[in-house]
Structure 1
Amino acid sequence: MTAPGPAAASPPTHRVVQAIELLSRHSGDRLSLARIVRATGMSRATAHAVLTQLCADGWTLRDAEGNYSLGLGLLAVARRADTAFPVRTLALDAMRTLARDQAVPVFLAEREFQGGVRSGRPGNNAAAGDAAMDAIVITEVLGTPSAPWIRPARRMPFAPPVCREFVAWAPESERAAWLAAADPGHRTRLAAVLDAIAARGYSVERLADDSAPMLEALGALRNSPVTDPLRHRLSAMIADLITIDYLPDELGDTNAVVSLAAPIFSPDGPVIASIVACPDANLSAAGLRDLAAATIAAADTVATALRS
C-alpha cells in the first residue's frame, strides 16, 4: 500500500491519478485488479469503477483475463502534452548521448514557477513570482538512478540545500531569500558553495541515502502552514545528514559523487532546468572533471537550441 500523504482536495480525482501513475510505473506489465487495490489502497469496488471508466475513455485497456494496462487514448494525450515541455523535447538527444558516453543514469530537472512560468516561456509575472513556492520537477529519467525518489513527475521543494545549480546564478535578492530559508548553521557554507558552483559551472550532490525519504516528507509538508515547526525540524535533520557539495579545497584524488548537475539557461538568462548525471560512485579528480565537462556540454547544447 502506498504511504499516506497530504489529504486530497478531490479524492475521486486523486484515485484516477493513482491508477494512471501505477500503470505508468509498470508500463510493460498488465496488472490485476487485486494488485491495483493493494498498491493504491482503494477498495475493490472503487478501483473497479475507476478502471471501468478509464477503459471506456480509452485511457486504460482490460484484457481477456481481467488485467489492466495503459491505453492509446492516454498516449495521445501524452504526446499533445509534450508541447508544454519544450526543454524536455530539446534535451532528450543530449541526455541520451551523455548517458551513453559516460555510462551513467541521467535525469532532467525543470523549475516549475509558482506563477505558471515553465520551460523558458516566461509570462508577465516571471520575475515577480514567489520563489519559495516554486518547485523542481523531474521531467525525464534515462537509466536507473540509485535513489528511488528520482523518477518522472517527482516534485521537490525549491528550498535549501537542494536546487543549488538553480540559485548560483540568480540575482542577489533571490539568493539571499533562498539562503534565509536554510538552517542557520549551514548558511555560510551554502553561500560559499553557490560561489563555487557559479565559478566552475556545476553542482555536486553528496546526499546520504537515509535523507532521501526526509526530502520527500519535506516536500509534502512544505505548503502546509500548520506544519511549519515540523517542516523546520525536517529541514535541519536533512542538513545534518548531508555534506553540502564540494568546495575547491575539498576535492581530492577520490571524490564521492552521487550526482552532478549542470544548469540550462533560458534565452532570458535565468536557470530553468538542469541536466543531472548520476554516477553514484567514487570518482578520481580527472573522472569528475570529465563527467562535469560532458554534463555542462549537454546542458549548453539544450540552451543553444532554446535560443534558436
Structure 2
Amino acid sequence: MGAGQEATADSVGEVGAASPPTQRVVKVLELLSRHPTDRLSLARIVREAGLSRATAHAVLTQLTADGWTVRDDDGCYGIGLRLLTVARRAEAAFPLRRTAAPHLRALFERTGDPVFLAERDGDSIVVTEVVGNPSAGWIRTGRRLPLAPPVCREFVAWAPEPARQAWLATADPVHRDRLALVLAEIRARGYSVERLVDDSTPMLEVLAGLRDSPITAALRAQLGSVITELITIDYLPDELGPENAVVTLAAPVRDAGGAVVAAVVSCPDTRLSAAALSELGSATVAAADRISAL
C-alpha cells in the first residue's frame, strides 16, 4: 500500500469527526483495552484499528512516552500503568459494574450467549461491562445510547404512568399504540426482546453510526425515523412462532426503591424457539434479580 492509499485508509470512518487525531488515539486505546493481558504487534494494531502504519506508530510512540501504553522488547504494545490508574479511578463512577460482573460471567457461562450491563445515566444508557464477544459492533464498553423510543424499553416499562406516557409521546405516532402494548407485555413477562427485519442489521449499524456523528438535529431526526422503520418492535404473545429472531433480550436491574437503574442484556443474535426464548428470558431475569438484591 502506498503513502497516498494509507492516508485514504486513515480517513475511512472519520468523515464528519470533530477531531480525527483524537479519534485515532481512542481507537488505539480501545483496541488495547480489549486485550488487557496481551501484547499486540504494530501490524495487528494497524489492521484492527484501521490506521496507517505511520499514524499508528506516531500515536503509540506518544502514548508510550506518556505512560498510557508500554512497548516490550519485541516491539509489541500493551496498556500502561497510567491507563490502568485512570481506569480504576473511573470505576468509582460505575460501582454497579463491579458487583454485577460475576453474575454476568455466570450468565454467560450458563447460556453461552454474550452479555452486557447497561446503566442509566440521566437520559442516556451507557454500556459499562461486556462479557463475551457480541456480534453487533455497537456493543462495547462506554457506548452511550439515548433513552428514546423504540429502544431501551426495559428502562421505561416499570416507570410511573406519567413517565411512560411522556416517553411514548416522543415516539413515532405510527408506533405508539404498539409500543404501549409492548410495554405492558414487558412488565408481564419480565424482559424486552429486540428483533430486526431480516437482513437489516448491517444497514441499521451504519445508520446508527451516522446518527451518533456530528450532524444537524434535523438530519439526526430523519435518521431516527429510518432506523425506526427497520425495527420490528419486540414480540407480542400471538407473534411467537416455531423460530423467532432474537438479537438481544434485556431484563431490568432495580435499586432499593424499585426504580430501574440498569439492565442485563443477553445477546444471542439468532433464531430461538418460543421455549428457548422463554428459558433465556428466565435466566436473564434471574441474573438481573440477583444483581438488584446486592
Q: TM-score, normalised by structure 2?
A: 0.84
Out of 86, 91, 98, the position equivalent to 1:82 is: 91
Give the structure 2 partner of residue 297 of structure 1: 286
Give the structure 2 partner of residue 102 of structure 1: 111
**Do structure 1's residue 149 and structure 2's residue 159 form an aligned pair?**
no
Q: Sequence identity of aligned pairs in percent?
A: 54
Residues 155, 219 of structure 1: 8 Å contact kept: no
Out of 220, 231, 241, the position equivalent to 2:213 is: 220
| Alignment: residue pair count | 279
**Do structure 1's residue 59 and structure 2's residue 52 form an aligned pair?**
no
Give the structure 2 partner of residue 68 of structure 1: 77
Give the structure 1 partner of residue 274 of structure 2: 285
Equivalents in 1 of 2:289, 2:141: separation in Å?
A: 22
Local SS of the residue matching 1:232: helix
- List 4+ stretches of structure 1 deviating above 6 A: none
How much does 1:34 deviate? 9.7
Local SS of the residue matching 2:180: helix
How much does 1:281 deviate? 2.1
Equivalents in 1 of 2:293, 2:195: separation in Å?
A: 29
Question: CA separation of 1:181/1:67 partners in 2, compared to 1, >3 Å: closer, same or farther?
Answer: same
How much does 1:150 deviate? 1.3
How much does 1:275 deviate? 0.4
Equivalents in 1 of 2:84, 2:258: separation in Å?
A: 34
Equivalents in 2 of 1:253, 1:45: separation in Å?
A: 51
Spell out, residue by residue over 1:89-118, the C-alpha distance to the aligned partner (whole angstroms, 9 max, x if none).
1111111111111121111111122xxxxx
Out of 220, 232, 245, the position equivalent to 2:221 is: 232
How much does 1:187 deviate? 1.2
Structure 2 letter corresponding to 1:213: V
Structure 2 letter corresponding to 1:183: D
RMSD over equivalenced CA pairs, Å: 2.7
Equivalents in 2 of 1:179, 1:295: separation in Å?
A: 26
Give the structure 2 partner of residue 32 of structure 1: 42
How much does 1:54 deviate? 2.6
Give the structure 2 partner of residue 176 of structure 1: 165
How much does 1:45 deviate? 7.0
What are structure 2's unaligned runs of at least 5 residues? 1-9
Spell out, residue by residue over 1:51-103, the C-alpha distance to the aligned partner (whole angstroms, 9 max, x if none).
34432332211233544321133223323322321111111111111111112
Range that drifts further, 50-59 or 188-197: 50-59
Give the structure 1 partner of residue 235 of structure 2: 246
Structure 2 letter corresponding to 1:111: R
Residues 107, 138 of structure 1: 8 Å contact kept: yes
Out of 165, 181, 184, the position equivalent to 1:195 is: 184
Give the structure 1 partner of residue 14 of structure 2: 4
Local SS of the residue matching 2:137: coil
Give the structure 1 partner of residue 3 of structure 2: none
Range that drifts further, 16-25 or 262-271: 16-25
Residues 28, 49 of structure 2: 8 Å contact kept: no
Residues 253, 263 of structure 2: 8 Å contact kept: yes
How much does 1:141 deviate? 1.3
Local SS of the residue matching 2:265: strand
Question: CA separation of 1:183/1:300 partners in 2, compared to 1, >3 Å: closer, same or farther?
Answer: same
Equivalents in 2 of 1:51, 1:179: separation in Å?
A: 47
Local SS of the residue matching 2:104: helix
Residues 37, 44 of structure 1: 8 Å contact kept: no
**Do structure 1's residue 266 and structure 2's residue 266 form an aligned pair?**
no
Equivalents in 1 of 2:84, 2:28: separation in Å?
A: 15
Equivalents in 2 of 1:109, 1:206: separation in Å?
A: 18
Question: CA separation of 1:198/1:6 partners in 2, compared to 1, >3 Å: closer, same or farther?
Answer: farther
Question: CA separation of 1:204/1:46 partners in 2, compared to 1, >3 Å: closer, same or farther?
Answer: closer
Local SS of the residue matching 1:206: strand
Structure 1 letter corresponding to 2:13: A
Structure 1 letter corresponding to 2:68: W
Residues 33, 67 of structure 1: 8 Å contact kept: no
- Aligned counterparts, 1:97-136, within 5 A: 97-113=106-122, 134-136=123-125
